[in-house]
Amino acid sequence: MSLFKIFDVSSSAIAAQSQRLNVVASNLANAESIAGPDGQPYKARQVVFQTQSLGADPAAAGVKVAQVVQDDTPARRIHDPSNPMADADGMVTMPNVNPVEEMVNMISASRSYQTNVDVMNTAKSLLQKVLQLGT
């Protein structure tokens, strides 16, 4: 039954989008973390999506998170001499998290998540109608 494959496709997308949402949450939570476990300021992370073929069928293409990469944009530096992490010039290195970008990312991830749930619901209701065939 071809429609069952939709559940595999959409659930892979939902899993990938929720991982993206997870990364956004961790970026936003650490937007002000000037020192991580290694003593360095937090670096933003981004997910990289990749198409994942499901079985031999060329028509069904799922998604997976290929890797989580560290964002290499330069860190934000602010002047705050009272901070214990300040250097000789009184500058503190902040994480390179861009809250605006992260919010846009969050909205995009949540919209994609919702769309895939809708697709699954439609497939489910169609399959239920198939079960009632001939009754």
Partner 1 sequence: MTATLDFQAAALGLQAQRAKVLASNIANADTPNYQARDFDFSVALAQAAQATAHSPTEPVRTHPAHLSGTGTTAPAPVLQYRQPLQPSLDGNSVDLDTERAAFAENSVRYEASLRFLNGQIKTMLTAINGQ
CA of 95: how far to CAs of 64, 85, 89, in Å?
A: 27, 13, 18
Q: What are phi and psi of 74, to 5 degrees?
A: -60, 145
Q: Which is nearer to partner 1, 20 or 41 (CB)?
A: 20
Residues 34-93 that bind partner 1 (CB under 8 A): 48-51, 57-63
Torsion sign across C-alpha atoms 64, 111, 109, 101: positive
For the CB of residue 20, give the shortest distance to partner 1 in the complex, in Å.
8
Binding site for partner 1 (CB under 8 A): 1-3, 5-6, 9-10, 12-13, 17, 20, 48-51, 57-63, 108-109, 112, 115-116, 118-119, 122-123, 126, 129-130, 133-134
